[in-house]
Amino acid sequence: MTKNQGSAYVVCGPTAVGKGTVLKEVFRKGANLWYSVSATTRPARPGEIDGKDYFFVSNQEFDELVNSGEMLEWAVVHKIHRYGTPRKPVEKAIAEGKIVILEVDLDGARQIRKTMPEVKQIFIAPPSWEELKARLIGRATECEEEQSRRLETAKIELEAQGEFDVVVVNESVADATEKILHILGISE
């Protein structure tokens, strides 16, 4: 990479592992970071903001983005909604020298591994399966059916953690944040 080219990192991890909380802290502490806002067909949760948390789009709008080659990667997550990474903003941020964070699921991570092999891939893992289940049930943002669907996906994702360049176990937010900042080459 040339001197003023940025870099990109994939961050993947199962549901309720605390990715959102850890990444929020990483962004609070690190400079020059840029978060790729994904497009999704999932409806917004209370408090989520269009254009900040996700671009909330219809099925038809998502189809158009895919068909016009606007998606860097996309996947059906938890067997229900589609999520994808808009290509142009990512390319622009990298060209501007930013440290780009791509939060994607396992399928998306695999696609990026093929198309952008230079991108380092980080997996955030829970301390244990029991802890993950407790966190998911404890946050109570999904109904029981959705919780079991998410746990099914989580099992598959945890089995694939060996594919990643580095695994960060989220024992505590502070510890996981520090580890990720270190991987990104940012010292506090």
Size of the site for ligand 5GP (CB under 6 A): 14
User: Least separation, in Å, of the C-beta of 4 and ligand 5GP?
Assistant: 26
User: Which residues from 96-135 bind ligand 5GP, rule CB under 6 A?
Assistant: 103-105, 107-108
Nearest to 38 by CA among 8, 99, 83, 75: 83
For ligand 5GP, the binding residue among 77, 93, 122, 184 (CB under 6 A) is 77
CA separation for the pair 151, 132 (Å, rounded): 9
Give CA–CA dist 17/159, Å, rounded: 15
Dig out the tokens for 33 from the structure: 């970071």
Q: Is 41 in the site for ligand 5GP (CB under 6 A)?
A: no
Neighbours of 86 (CB within 10 A): 17
Of residues 84, 90, 125, 184, which one binds ligand 5GP by CB under 6 A?
84
Give the one residue of 29, 42, 87, 110 binding ligand 5GP; rule: CB under 6 A: 42
Q: Please return the burial class of 174, using the count of CB atoms within 10 Å of its CB with bins 0-12, 13-18 and 19+.
A: exposed
Chain positions contacting ligand 5GP, by CB under 6 A: 38, 42, 73-75, 77, 83-85, 103-105, 107-108
